[in-house]
């Protein structure tokens, strides 16, 4: 495992563009936010990612999410989010952060046209913890390079 520091980067988008410019990424890689402490078995996550890639050649990113009740102590009170997930494939179809309003829980507003392309059953989930751990293919930094306004992995890159 090699750790790559990008000290000039101010966002995930900056770091992705830096990685792409350096030409260091030649295969799938683990992207971990700097403030993550975990005991995740990364071999299982990587195996899951490889299975998904084998099934769908357009699969370029696997997010690590963990189910927890809305009141669980490990849930973020700062960054709660809602995920719309395909019931069969578990693909994230839509992501939206839930900003607090006046210090209280906020709400989401999903425009109906965003869901028009969904053909199968889906689940709207707010019981998932975003572990801020992702398995990415080399295409991810390239996409950030092509979309210079992308700054954040979830709100810019994941549909939402």
Percent of the chain with pLDDT over 70: 91
Residue 35 scores a pLDDT above 60: yes
Domain ranges of the chain: 27-34+41-103+112-157
* Mean per-residue pLDDT of the chain: 85
Tell me the three-class secondary structure of the chain, residue by residue.
CCCCCCCCCCCHHHHHHHHHHHCCCCCCEEEECCCCCCCCCHHHHHHHHHHHHHHCCCCCEEEEEEECCCCCCCCCCCCCEEEEEECCCCCEEEEEECCCECCECCCCCCCHHHHCCCCCCEEEECCEEEEEEEEECCHHHHHHHHCCCCCCHHHHHCCC
- 11 compared with 105, residue with greater pLDDT: 11
pTM metric for this prediction: 0.82
Percent of the chain with pLDDT over 90: 33
Question: Which pLDDT score, from 0 to 100, does residue 3 have?
Answer: 79
- 55 compared with 114, residue with greater pLDDT: 55
Question: Which pLDDT score, from 0 to 100, does residue 51 have?
Answer: 94
Q: Mind listing the pLDDT tens digit for each residue in 56-90?
A: 999 999 999 988 876 777 666 556 788 999 998 88
Question: Which pLDDT score, from 0 to 100, does residue 82 have?
Answer: 87
Question: Which pLDDT score, from 0 to 100, does residue 147 have?
Answer: 92
């Amino acid at each position: 495992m090699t750790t790559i520091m990008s000290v000039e980067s101010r966002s995930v988008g900056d770091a992705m563009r830096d990685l792409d410019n350096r030409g260091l990424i030649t295969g799938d890689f683990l992207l971990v936010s700097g403030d993550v402490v975990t005991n995740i078995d990364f071999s299982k996550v990587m195996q899951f990612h490889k299975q998904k890639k084998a099934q769908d050649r357009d699969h370029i990113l696997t997010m690590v999410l963990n189910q927890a009740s809305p009141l669980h102590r490990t849930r973020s009170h700062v960054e709660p989010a809602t995920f719309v997930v395909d019931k069969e494939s578990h693909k994230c179809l839509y992501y939206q952060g839930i900003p607090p309003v006046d210090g209280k829980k906020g709400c989401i507003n999903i425009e109906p046209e965003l869901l028009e392309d969904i053909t199968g059953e889906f689940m709207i989930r707010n019981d998932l913890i975003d572990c801020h751990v992702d398995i990415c293919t080399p295409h991810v930094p390239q996409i950030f390079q092509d979309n210079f306004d992308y700054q954040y992995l979830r709100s810019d890159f994941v549909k939402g």
